[in-house]
Amino acid sequence: MVLRAIAPVEQQKRRSRANAEPAVRAFSVAAEPVSRPTPLAPEPILLDAIRALRELRDEGLLEFRRGRGITVTGTPEQSAVVERAKELLHYARTQGYKPDELIRVIQQLG
């Protein structure tokens, strides 16, 4: 009697598997292939931030220390002078002066 009660349950399981298999096969065929993970590329915003930090370091306003992070070494006044110097250099170039010629002019004034 126990076998008779189990038999209908087993038949139901087989039917449900048989009905589900075509759907699973159709899904697996229609699914896109899984792509391999690509190496992480830095975001453009992150690259801009890194570039800006390097410019500040080159101007002497920041100091990079391995294991200690970034330290501010310049002042707002120093930053303003560096900015004005860049503008002067750009203007001198548009007027036909080379950087060494501009340095000589500044030295003569000082």
Dihedral of CA atoms 98, 101, 106, 108 in degrees, nearest 10, equals -170
In a domain, 2, yes or no: no
Amino acid, single-letter form, for residue 54: R
Q: What angle do CA 55, 58, 50 make, to 5 degrees?
A: 35
Query: Model's pTM, two decimal places?
Result: 0.45
Q: What are 57-77's pLDDT values in tens digits?
A: 988 889 988 888 888 888 888
Q: For the residues 98-110, what does the mean pLDDT come to?
A: 92
85 occurs within a structural domain: yes
Domain assignment of residue 81, yes or no: yes
Surface-to-core class of residue 102, CB atoms within 10 Å of its CB (0-12 exposed, 13-18 middle, 19+ buried): middle
Task: Grade residue 93 by pLDDT with cuts at 50, 70 and 90.
Answer: very high
What is the rounded CA–CA span in Å between residue 103 and residue 110? 11
Q: How far is it, in rounded angstroms, from Cα 21 to Cα 24?
A: 5
Print the domain residue range for 61. 44-109
Judge whether 19 lies within some domain.
no
Higher pLDDT, 33 or 44: 44
Given a cut of 60, whether residue 41 has pLDDT beyond it is yes
**Residue 1 covered by a domain:** no
Task: Assess if residue 13 is contained within a domain.
Answer: no
Asked whether residue 56 is domain-assigned, the answer is yes
Q: How many domains does the chain have?
A: 1
Strand-pair partners of 64:
70
For residue 1, name the pLDDT band (cuts at 50, 70, 90): very low
Give residue 105's pLDDT: 93
Confidence label for 90 from pLDDT (cuts 50, 70 and 90): very high
User: For 97, phi and psi rounded to 5 degrees?
Assistant: -85, 145
Q: Is residue 50 part of a domain?
A: yes
Token digits for 3?
């076998």
